[in-house]
Each structure stands twice: as C-alpha cells, then as structure tokens.
Amino acid sequence: MAIRSMTGFAQVKGQFNDQVAFTITLKSVNHRFLDLHLRMPADSDALEMKIRRTFKEKLHRGHVELTLAMERSDGSSLAVNRQLVGGYVNAFREAAREFSVSAEPDLAAILKMPGAMSGSTIDPNDEALEAAILKKLDDGIAKLDSMRAEEGAGIVRELRERMGHLQHATDEVDKLRSAMLHAHLEKIHARMQELIGSHADKDRILQEAAMLAERSDIQEELVRMKNHIQHFLGLLDAPGEAGKKLDFLLQEMNRESNTLLSKTSGVAGEALRITQFGLQMKSEIEKSREQVQNIE
C-alpha cells in the first residue's frame, strides 16, 4: 500500500428499489487515530455497527465523517409524528410560560429531530437494504482511498525534495568538520595564551584542544542524521502505515540538529557556516513534519 494522505472526499449514490435511493458522503482529515463520526437515519444502530466495522478494516487513521441520506421517490409524502412533535411544542410553550419568555417554537428545527418525520427512517430488519448500503460504502471508501493516495503521492514528492535538501546540508556540514576542529584549536590556544602568556605549554594546549574537540565533535550526529534520512526514504517506499514512524524519525532528526548546533556554537571563520547549514536543516525538518502530520 502506497503512502496515503488522511485528507479526502467521496460521494456515492445507490438505488435500492423503485422507491428508495440513498447517498453516502465521506469526508476525512488528519487525526492521530481513526476517529469516526457517522450521521445516520434514526433506528439504524445495527447498520451503524457494520459500517464502523468496515471502516476499521480498511482505514487506519484519520477523522472520518460519514453522512447517509435516504430518499424516497414513490411520490408519497412524509408523515409527521404528531405525538412526538406535539410533545416538543407543548414542552417548549410550558417552559416559556414558566420562565415568562415571549417565544414560539421553531417548527423547522423540531422536524429535524430524530423520529419527528415518519418514512425517513431505515427499517433495521431490512437486511437487503443494509447489504445495498454496505456495498456502496465499499465503493465510497475506494473512491476516498483513491483521493487519499493521490494526495499522498504529492506529499511524498515534497518529502523527497526536503530530504534531498537535508542530505545536502548534512554533507556540507561534514565537509566543514575539519575547519571546526581547527577553530577549536585556535580558540583554546588563544585562551591559554591569555591566561598564562608566553609560558604556555604547547603539549598542554594540544591536550586541552583534543579534549575540547572530542566533546565538540559532531561526527556521531552526522552519521545518525544520514542514517535517519535513509531510513525515512525507505519508509516512503515501504507498505503499511508509515505516518507515526516518519514523525518519530523527524523528531530524532530534530534532536540531532539541535545537538549539532549546540556543539558548534561560538566557532568563527569558515566553521561559522556550520551554524547556517544547521539552521537550514532545522527548517527542512520542520517543513517535513508539517507534511507528515497528514500521512496515514
């Protein structure tokens, strides 16, 4: 399975018989987990459970909204549930009198309440209708998945470009390692001269410089950064859910870039360019994280 975005939209229509048609609308955006929100006709609890099971089998992450709208084309008018609507109206007017509020109930809002209109519900025992809806749901998820895959391909292209920039910056910093070590040597030499003047012990200076260079060497960070980049690129081609793994790798890359910048702070001359490349690395990592947040 290719990398997929969590953003998508799909709509499918189905015809159950000459009188009943339905429309399924799907929308999805990014979310840490699979978060389902279903807008279903009343009395369709059994169908809702089957729909949720279908989603869990085919999607892994994302905030997904499903709207199922039923349409009757037999020319029959919908009937008002007089007992239910009357109860709403009477309760509203009773509350208005009790609290001395001058207001009338909104009939349009009341008729949208579950059960207010008969003929708009799904028969929970109609297995044939459920089967037709579930079959169309499969088509809808396939269309949604196709859009998410298309969006995902665009994200992958951008991420590969970002990783290319990050790899270039890492290689440039690697070339400047020797300049940085030389800068540390000059720095410790100047400091030792300042403290003890002409009596400075050259061997002592070299020893202190070596210790400082060891503490400040960024080779390990560069090696880990290069490994993370290769692992990241490998995940873009690997099957299965990758969003969380990619996000974790970017967190690790960000940690390496922070360590690199802290170790190279205060250096001068040619080594100062390491800071510039380090900031560029952090920028590429942050832009990549914005994209990865939307990968399933």
Q: What is the pLDDT of residues 187-199, one digit of tens each?
A: 666 666 665 655 6
Identify the pLDDT of residue 7. Answer: 92
The predicted pLDDT at position 37 comes to: 95
pLDDT at residue 97 greater than cutoff 60 = yes
Task: Return the higher-pLDDT residue of 269 and 25.
Answer: 25
Pairing of strands 79-80, 117-118: antiparallel
Q: What is the mean pLDDT of the chain?
A: 83
The answer for residues whose C-beta is within 8 angstroms of residue 256's C-beta and 6 or more apart is 221, 224, 225, 228
291 token code pair: 């994209």
Q: How far is it between the farthest Cα atoms of the chain? A: 107
Could you tell me if 288 and 160 are in contact, meaning their C-beta atoms sit under 8 angstroms apart?
no
Confidence of residue 106 (pLDDT cuts 50, 70, 90): confident
Query: Which one, of 296, 29, 281, lies nearest residue 153 by Cα?
Result: 296
**Rounded percentage of the chain residues whose pLDDT exceeds 90:** 42
- 88: which 2 tokens? 């709403």
What pLDDT is attached to residue 60?
A: 87
pLDDT tens digits, 204-235: 666 665 666 556 677 888 999 999 999 999 99
- Identify the bridge partners of residue 23 per DSSP, sorted by sequence position: 13, 69
Across residues 146-158, what is the average pLDDT? 92
Integer Cα distance of 282 and 221 in angstroms = 14
Residue 261: band (very low, low, confident or very high) from pLDDT cuts 50, 70, 90 = confident
68 strand-pairing partners = 24
pTM value > 0.75: no
Is a pLDDT exceeding 80 seen at residue 16? yes
Give the pLDDT confidence score for residue 292 in this predicted structure. 92
pLDDT band at 25 (very low <50, low <70, confident <90, very high): very high
Residue 273's nearest CA partner among 174, 205, 196, 190 is 174
- The stretch 123-135 carries a mean pLDDT of 82
Statement: residue 155 has pLDDT above 90:
yes
Instruction: Evaluate if residue 202 carries a pLDDT over 70.
Output: no
